[in-house]
Amino acid sequence: MIRMHPKVSGLLAHGDVHGLREALQAAIELEHAVIPPYLYALYSLVPGENDAAARIIRSVVTEEMLHLTLAANVLGAVGGRPVLDSPGLLPRYPGPLPGTVDDGLVVGLAPFSVPLVRDTFMAIEQPEWPLDYPADAGGPAAPGPAGEPLTIGQFYRRIRTTLTALGEGAFTGQGHHQVTTGLLPGAIPVTGVASACAAIDTIIDQGEGTLTSPLEVVGTEVAHYYRFAEIVHGRRLVPNPAAGPATPPDQRYDYDGAPVTVNPVAVRKVPLNPTTAGYPAGTAARRACTSFNYTYTSLLKTLHATFNGTPRALTSAIGLMSSLRQQGLDMMAGTAAGGTPAGPSFEWQPSQ
């Protein structure tokens, strides 16, 4: 489980709109930071192999992109300006995630493996009270005092509390800046307290589930933590047919569904934590990495425009995401890197 740094969680201590805006920007940066490690692992899977694991990771990435959008919608609605076109936004891999306490969890760019999913991806998504452990009486821990590290779920709940306390008067942003469901399925246009809270609840529930169920509140998928656990356990999480009304929450589901088979041979042998500078100058791998990073930077700039007054630019962003995927696959297959599997570095590259 990761926790937010006191400097970040402390932004909400005074309950003012300025601290709220900074906290939401921190949330955007955190949501963004988990996407490259997930994509790197996804790209490393040989197409047509390990399909169940690939579908799970892809579904999580899609929802992380939605979470980033929802956080940006809330920030824009309270008069803030989401920032995505800055090199300072990009985390350094390997290392702690931005805005979090360095508690020993190192997040990097690595090819897919079950230990990676178990030790890193599940740690990123772990809720405060995961249902794969016995539940203690008394419910979830209350958020600590201001300045104390919060879990991601607690951090978002404190954002929700601040939004509610500030009331409708805090919503001073431009309505036409909002990304809607018509542009991105699941996107909630934020216009006031109720829609802002709905957006925050979606982020929490898709990541963590609820205290009594691994399911998302909306939809039929289990939350991210449990989806990754399906890869680790090798089976889908399904309702326990023997469960009754008195069955404890952590016994109402079993990892006894359809197989999630993993073939470690069908994973590209790509480098750990590559950098552009790590590829020799003049090589195909260096050129491919530079090109990937240029597309990646263009994507961030397009998303910045999307969230700051041009929501229809999301169509262009989706096109860039598709191009990024193909470039990443070509690098890892070796076809774009001189025959040797290589990996993209997700670095800032404003020009080629």
16 and 126 belong to one structural domain: yes
Quote the mean pLDDT of the chain.
89
DSSP run (H or E) holding 284: helix 284-307
Q: How far is CA 135 from the centre of its chain?
A: 26
Residues 6+ apart with CB under 8 A from 204: 153, 156, 157
Domain boundary among 267, 283, 304: 267
User: What is the Cα–Cα distance from 261 to 58, expressed in whole angstroms?
Assistant: 16
**pLDDT surpasses 80 at 113:** yes
310 and 349 belong to one structural domain: yes
Structure tokens at 81: 């300006």
Within a domain: 168? yes
104: left (phi over 0), alpha (psi -120 to 50) or beta: left
Within a domain: 97? yes
**pLDDT surpasses 70 at 328:** yes
User: What is the Cα–Cα distance from 345 to 277, expressed in whole angstroms?
Assistant: 10
Within a domain: 241? yes
pLDDT range class, residue 322, cuts 50, 70, 90: very high
> From the CA atom positions of the chain, what is the Rg in Å?
20
26-42 per-position pLDDT tens digit: 999 999 999 999 999 99
The half-sphere exposure of 199 on its side-chain side, counting CA atoms within 13 A, is 32
User: What percentage of the chain exceeds 90 in pLDDT?
Assistant: 68
Domain boundary among 267, 301, 331: 267
184 and 299 belong to one structural domain: no
Q: What is the pLDDT of residue 248?
A: 84
Within a domain: 1? no
Q: What is the pLDDT of residue 139?
A: 36
Work out how many domains the chain is built from and give that number: 2
283 and 319 belong to one structural domain: yes
Within a domain: 51? yes
Q: What is the pLDDT of residue 218?
A: 55
48-93 per-position pLDDT tens digit: 999 999 999 999 999 999 999 999 999 999 999 999 999 988 999 9
Domain boundary among 246, 267, 288: 267
263 and 278 belong to one structural domain: no
**pLDDT surpasses 90 at 222:** no
pLDDT range class, residue 352, cuts 50, 70, 90: low
Which CATH number belongs to the domain containing residue 178 in this structure?
A: 1.20.1260.10
User: What percentage of the chain exceeds 70 in pLDDT?
Assistant: 90
What value does the mean pLDDT take over residues 130-137? 41
290 and 308 belong to one structural domain: yes
Q: What is the pLDDT of residue 40?
A: 98
Domain enclosing residue 342, as ranges = 274-352
Within a domain: 136? yes
247 and 190 belong to one structural domain: yes
86 and 209 belong to one structural domain: yes
Q: What is the pLDDT of residue 141?
A: 37
DSSP notation for 44-95: TBPTTSSHHHHHHHHHHHHHHHHHHHHHHHHHHHTT-----S-GGGSPPSSB
**pLDDT surpasses 50 at 206:** yes
**pLDDT surpasses 60 at 204:** yes
The helix-helix angle for 152-166 and 193-208 (nearest 10°) equals 170
Structure tokens at 161: 């509390």
What value does the mean pLDDT take over residues 223-244? 90
Structure tokens at 246: 């008195």
pLDDT range class, residue 3, cuts 50, 70, 90: confident
206 and 299 belong to one structural domain: no
43 and 148 belong to one structural domain: yes
What value does the mean pLDDT take over residues 240-264? 89
What value does the mean pLDDT take over residues 241-247? 87
28 and 146 belong to one structural domain: yes
Predicted model pTM:
0.92
289 and 171 belong to one structural domain: no
279-309 per-position pLDDT tens digit: 999 999 999 999 999 999 999 999 999 999 9
**pLDDT surpasses 70 at 211:** no
Q: What is the pLDDT of residue 251?
A: 85
Lowest mean pLDDT among 121-130, 270-279, 340-349: 121-130
Within a domain: 156? yes
Q: How many residues does the chain have?
A: 352
